[in-house]
Amino acid sequence: MMRGIVMVLMALDHASHAFNAGRYTQDSYLWYSAGAQIPAIQFMVRWVTHICAPTFLFLAGFVLALSVARRQTRGDTERSIDGDMITRGIFILLLDPLWMSFGFGGNITLQVLYAIGGSFCLLVPLRRMGLRSLLAVSVGLFLGGEGLAGLAVWADNGQRPGLIATFLITGGAVTKDAYVLYPLLPWLAYMLLGWVGGQYLLGKESVNPVRFFSKAGLISLTVFFIIRGFNQYGNMLLYRYDLSVPQWLHVSKYPPSLSFAALELGLMFLMLAFLFAAYRNHKPSAANPLQVFGRTPLFFYILHVHLLSGAAWALNLYRAGGLVETGLATLTVLGVLYPLCRCYDRFKRAHATSLLRYL
């Protein structure tokens, strides 16, 4: 359910990318003029989708922990588990430059699939560490992300960071036609946190997930208000210029700041607490659209961007419409993909050991 919710929000964001001429994109201090007016409605349409990428990374780690534990119980070797993780990670990573980039405009752009696939590969050695150590690494990446980014820029005499730093820490242009929007290490922190959460709940059957995620959400949001309130380190230089709601919520996603992480994870944790309370005793639904999309996220992802962009070009509305066109496009692509995702879900379950498992 949680993954299905963010799939719908992601479709809204990418419909806006294809159809909305006024789409707000100034989610980084590099793109925002200090103190500039923020258009409230356009900003909120963009802001509600910020929860998508943190949720994808967190749940990828969380579900991976469950999957690995199930395979270990079944008697699978660690070598076979590692091989599948690396194969899946490389496959997902390569989808960004080889497929998704065409849907996003043609330039080679490493986005959320690069971060997820790369994190899968890094988890192969990292999963051997203890949970406390992995939690410390994750929290350290959250807390130290701005410091690492500053060091990367300082090491290059204040100019554009070097190639390795661009891929791992800061993101940015690689060439005039290739960009990294989701640098690996800041986003690895989310997957590590998900892995730790999954492993912890597996080992603590007495833990109430509603209470667990509620506490995590409140702690995370408290951190957000502290960081955003002091308005200094932790905001990745994208500061708050007044007390308005847009300025409080105008946090850096590129690269993700500590305030961004605390806000989005806090909201996600509270949503998970609500969903655990509401659905814990319900059987999975074969027809519930959110569950259907949540069971087929990668299949949904690799199709929806191209469908939206193709439709926008065909209708001569590529980045030329507004919020009405964005809303209609979102509903339409969800309607088109729902039966396709249902069919794919049934087909994949009937062929569980085929190559389709990588989608």
The b-or-e profile of 280-299 (16+ CB within 10 A means b, else e) is eeeeeeeeebbbbbbbbbbb
Distance CA 50, CA 261 (A): 10
pLDDT tens across the length of the chain (359 residues): 999 999 999 999 999 999 999 999 999 999 999 999 999 999 999 999 999 999 999 999 999 999 999 999 999 999 999 999 999 999 999 999 999 999 998 899 999 999 999 999 999 999 999 999 999 999 999 999 999 999 988 776 666 788 999 999 999 999 999 999 999 999 999 999 999 999 999 988 789 999 999 999 999 999 999 999 999 999 999 999 999 999 999 999 999 999 999 999 999 999 999 999 998 888 888 999 999 999 999 999 999 999 999 999 999 999 999 999 999 999 999 999 999 999 999 998 898 877 777 77
Distance CA 59, CA 159 (A): 35
Give the start-to-end residue ranges of the domains of the chain.
Answer: 1-26+289-359, 27-288
Task: Count CB atoms within 10 A of the CB of residue 93.
Answer: 21
Q: Which of 143, 170, 145, 142 is nearest to 156 (CA)?
A: 170
Please report where in the chains the tokens 């500039």 appear, as a residue. Answer: 36
| This prediction's pTM | 0.96
What one-letter code names the amino acid at 161?
P
The helix or strand, by DSSP H or E, that contains position 180, with its residue range, turns out to be strand 178-180
